[in-house]
Structure 1
Amino acid sequence: MEQLCDVADECVLQCEMIVEGEMKVYAIQVEIRDINDNAPSFRNAETQVKVSETAALGWRYPLAEAHDPDTGSNSLQRYELSGDEHFSLAVQTAPDGEKRLELLLAKALDREEAAFHELVLTAVDGGDPERTGTARILVIVLDANDNAPEFSQAVYMVRVREDVPVGTVLLTVSATDADDGMNGEVTFSFQKISVKAYDIFHLDTETGVITLVRSLDFEESDSYELGVQAKDGGDHFDTAKVSIEVIDVNDNAPEMAVTYWVSLLW
């Protein structure tokens, strides 16, 4: 029927018949009735949809409709969406009767909770039994910079002998950011440091390693406090304190102080 009548609800073929011996022509109408011999189908078996994790509730995305060559009640009747509570299906009927299919955001997204959502869109016809066709929808959640870096410790403490050689790694500060890509890339810097300490300690901006670049001297200073900052690819940051205690070693010889007393006898 689909080949002869396309999508017509009623299909009638007009033809003529000649009865042998009578030489008489009879007009005949042949009505072709549709049967549910086709299932709905989607042009693409899989669709990828990208949406920001900050998208507002009610965000919509148009979806391609299914096609069913059957007619009448055997044709496509409804759609169903399964797989995730974050999304629902909206079917809009245009003035000309055409149905427009849209994916609707029903619950707020969080990429750190789920970076992907897999949905199944099902098209159902009205036959008995029903025939169905499915398409897979993969929703990719795009990251937004909604997380700040976090140091593993609020205070880092280290005790160092004053005779450790220059180039020694004293400690490593570390911070993590739950965001993805540039939003999750953390760089380190000194946020608060004295001029003297800046000449003694070096902080690697990428690894957080603090090394000694000038010799320590307990007699010059027995402790240092440094403020460090971890910043992501946006404007979010965290701060921590580094406390360095310098341990004295026996690197100075005793110095004798002699006081002379002069006694005068008269």
Structure 2
Amino acid sequence: MDNENRWKYDQVAISLIDEAEMNANEMTGEDFAALCDNIGKSGLSSVPCCYKKQDGRFVMISGHHRLRACKKLRYSKIGILYCDEDELTKDEIIAIQLSHNSLHGEDNRNILKKLFEQIQTIEFKKFAHINIDEITPVDTNGIDISVMKETFTFSIILYPNSFDALDSLFGDIREQAKKSDIVLIADHEPNEEMLLKLQKEIGDQFNIKTPAICFSKLLDLAKERLTEIQKDNDLGNSES
């Protein structure tokens, strides 16, 4: 069977579309309200996927929230992609649903920021439904953290000072090394409590909510202090 040509597009009455019995994908009330607002402004720009039963009714594979939004907006018809039921196995139907929910990729924040900045109107900035805190520079009480052109990921592993934990430690190191450019390892007993305390104090002092930004500020302060120590050492050496 030609997999490419079995999918068909049509405008169908929304009353003929049923939701699947189970759908693992969930959406918050806030996100659903934003979805309704987006469809209300621009229409249904991405179509749901269904299969058509022999009785002429359609069953949703993916796009349940878009279907609900269109019902709330009182659409009478929507465009869908569909296959006839006998062209799909049950395994394939479930697999398609799960893959559509999970295979959405990740945003490149640098490109995301540049695209978002090109939107001129407040209305469509809101329409884009982007968390601004995640892509814009942070400027709070002297903090200025901007998105760099090149980014890297690092992880911190706080390990227990015990030979019994070595196997687990090596496993954690290997796992983090697959996902991170830099892995920092430190004995958790003298460091964990101090790190959490410093992050809390920095968050309170500079009104920072995100732990990652707190840690970035911690590194910034440490760098400033090391620079001060170096200057003091250089001054002491010159006077002597």
Q: TM-score range by the shorter chain?
A: under 0.3
| Normalised TM-score (structure 1) | 0.21
Whose strand fraction is larger, Structure 1's or Structure 2's?
Answer: 1
Higher gyration radius (CA) = 1
Whose helix fraction is larger, Structure 1's or Structure 2's?
Answer: 2
